Structure 1
Amino acid sequence: MTVIKRWIAYFLLILISASLQAAPALMTLALPDGQWRTVDEASLAKLPHIEFTTTTPWTLGTRQFRGPTLATLLAAYGVPDAKKAIVSGLNGYQQLVDLTQFDNLPLTLVRYENGQPLTRRNKGPLWLLLPFTDHPTLDIPAIHNSMVWQVTRIEIVN
């Protein structure tokens, strides 16, 4: 009987520890002071989101996108005046983004497309994106370079 109780206790311990594991990180944020923060689904969901409909050079037709602006995310992590960031994607693509060129523009860390969470297959889980339809003068290759998909890390490099 003692062996059975030990196995039950062991099984319960495994179940409890599995439920206590931290949510998987969507991305990491490297702050100017050298500290790193993980951004998971719950922390991203706490931020105000914007929604826009646009066409992009990478998708067919008009799509609806939703997520927090990058400015909102950075302010929430204590860097509201960030000027430059290195944005890295899952495939190793990196882009130094001059954030000042997007002042007063909704540069968005998109999490949802047409109401569904982005996945790795459709440029997720996070995609840095602008509503090009609302800002057609920005729909140019020089700006396209900053629209990193499958974002895994953002490093502030002021």
Structure 2
Amino acid sequence: MLGKRIVGIVRIFLAIVAMGTAGYAQDLPQPEGPVLLTVLGDLAVTNAPGRAEFDRKMLEDLGMREIETSTIWTEGTQVFAGPPLKAVADRLGIEEGTIRAVAINDYAIELPFSDVTEDAAILALDRNGEPMSIREKGPLWIIFPYDSDQRFRAETYHARSIWQLDTLEVLP
């Protein structure tokens, strides 16, 4: 009799733990505005089945960082602002893997996780203080601090600087 009670208590405990874990997986708020970024893959935190969706405010809330740099696609020095790619990874519990970045037109590139550092890429939302339209390579553009470090001036990083970004997929 006591054994059945213990088994019942253990089952209730496991059910409570499972419910708590499911709640944690939904810890990311729902977007209130248009979704600018969808992240797919093995995520610790989601807000939709199998993915995390971000609107502009949610991305801004991750912390904006400015990069003042020239690019091979623009004239003169530009000021880009957006959350670090690392802030997105940290918020979703991403710690390893390759990140496949996909643009609105399905153009895709892969970034090694070594690019996910505090001083590397940002997901630029703004250029020179203004949101970027699709025509202006927005709404998101992966930008590296090209002028601050010679390593970012290589073709490798230019190829990773995808614009009109709308999806990130974490690959194993």
Structure with bigger RCO (C-alpha 8 Å, 6+ apart):
1
Ranges in structure 1 where 5+ consecutive residues have no aligned partner: 1-20
What one-letter code is carried by the residue in structure 2 that aligns with 1:88? V
Give a deviation string over 1:70-113, Cα, whole Å, max 9, x none: 0011111222x133110001122101111214545321111110
1:36 pairs with 51, 58, 69, which one?
Answer: 51
Partner of 1:14: none
Partner of 1:62: 77
Pair 1:99 & 2:99 matched: no
Q: How large is the Cα RMSD of the aligned pairs?
A: 1.8
**Deviation, structure 1 residue 147:** 0.7
Q: Which moved more, 1:135-144 or 1:115-124?
A: 135-144
User: Alignment identity in percent?
Assistant: 26
Distance 1:93 1:108 in 2: 19
Partner of 1:47: 62
Q: How many aligned residue pairs are there?
A: 137
For 1:25, what is the secondary structure of its paired residue?
coil
Pair 1:90 & 2:100 matched: no
Ranges in structure 2 where 5+ consecutive residues have no aligned partner: 1-30, 44-48
Misfit runs of 4+, over 2 Å: 101-106
Distance 1:101 1:85 in 2: 9
What one-letter code is carried by the residue in structure 2 that aligns with 1:137? R
Q: TM-score, normalised by structure 1?
A: 0.80
